[in-house]
Amino acid sequence: MEVVICGSGEEIGRHVADVYEAVLRGPAPVIGLATGSSPLVAYQELIRRHREDGLSFAGATAFLLDEYVGLPLSHPESYAAVIRRELTDHVDIDPARVFSPDGTAADLAAECARYDAAIAAAGGVHVQLLGIGTDGHVGFNEPMSSLTSRTRPKTLTRQTREDNARFFDSVDEVPTHVLTQGLGTISSARHLVLVATGSAKAEAIAAAVEGPLSARCPASILQWHRHATVFVDEAAASRLEFADYYRHTLAHKPDWQGF
């Protein structure tokens, strides 16, 4: 795992956009997208590169991490709607190639199996963007999620519903259940890129990066992955014991070595 401490959110956005641009310029790119506020600066940079530098998403396929159960796709806070609003409506990706689990499906278990099969049929995800919840969740894999789980329904913790209440009229409006790619599904992506900013994420980042590999902190699954990159700002890095080592590594990173 490579931990990269950045001076600003904009710097994180540029690094993430570099990683995505390299995949998008390759053959048949399959990109993993995430919602939440953490990826937004990277999405804005990708949209800028599309408009100003000709970066094309035309041949890309995209898979979203998760979705609320019970919110119609037309609901502005459904993740299918959020990703359209924040990224895919602003680039040249084929809307029919932007996939997300359907939280309104009559048979949720079958929908989850279908979703995993669709990811596999696309050849797997080249790069998966991740935020992190204050309880250490990735996607919507709450603490104690199986480390090998596949896409499935999950029950949100009270903490996560409170964290996400800002997108709804009240915490009571936040759905109680979700469909999420499992930790095993996420780990199948070839490159995991986790982004976190702000002091509210410092504890979760310390647990994920330097704590034990444990379902107690689902994001610690990145320690088990052969290609994982964690981009944090100074505030999110503030509880990292090895911060000086990460800074030293970055300062001496060879020119030939990307992320």
Ligand X SMILES: N[C@@H]1[C@@H](O)[C@H](O)[C@@H](COP(=O)(O)O)O[C@@H]1O
The amino acid that residue 71 corresponds to is L
Q: Give least dist CB 34 to ligand X, A.
A: 5
Closest CA to 103 of 65, 138, 61: 65
- What CA–CA distance (Å, rounded) separates 165 from 147? 27
**Token output for 226:** 């052969």
Q: Give least dist CB 154 to ligand X, A.
A: 10
Among 35, 141, 187, 188, binds ligand X (CB under 6 A): 35
- What CA–CA distance (Å, rounded) separates 208 from 214? 9
18 catalytically annotated: no
Please pick, among 135, 163, 191, 233, the residue that the annotation labels catalytic.
135
Among 41, 46, 65, 82, binds ligand X (CB under 6 A): 65
Query: Who's near 44: CB < 8 A, 6+ residues apart?
Result: 13
Please pick, among 66, 102, 111, 163, the residue that the annotation labels catalytic.
66
Looking at beta carbons only, is 55 or 80 nearer to ligand X? 80
34 binds ligand X (CB under 6 A): yes
19 binds ligand X (CB under 6 A): no
- Name the one range near ligand X by CB under 6 A: 31-39, 93-101, 209-217, 228-236: 31-39
CB atoms within 10 A of CB 116: 18
- What CA–CA distance (Å, rounded) separates 201 from 146? 22
Closest CA to 93 of 119, 59, 124, 123: 59
66 catalytically annotated: yes
Among 45, 66, 102, 142, binds ligand X (CB under 6 A): 66
137 catalytically annotated: yes
- Name the one range near ligand X by CB under 6 A: 29-37, 45-53, 208-216, 248-256: 29-37
Query: How many residues bind to ligand X according to rule CB under 6 A?
Result: 14
225 catalytically annotated: no
Binding pattern for the stretch 127-166 against ligand X, x by CB under 6 A and - elsewhere: ----xxx-----xx-------------------x---x--
- What CA–CA distance (Å, rounded) separates 215 from 16? 26
- What CA–CA distance (Å, rounded) separates 4 from 214? 22
The answer to whether 217 and 138 are in contact (CB under 8 A) is no
Query: Who's near 253: CB < 8 A, 6+ residues apart?
Result: none
Residues that bind ligand X (CB under 6 A): 34-38, 65-66, 131-133, 139-140, 160, 164
* Catalytic machinery residues: 66, 135, 137, 142
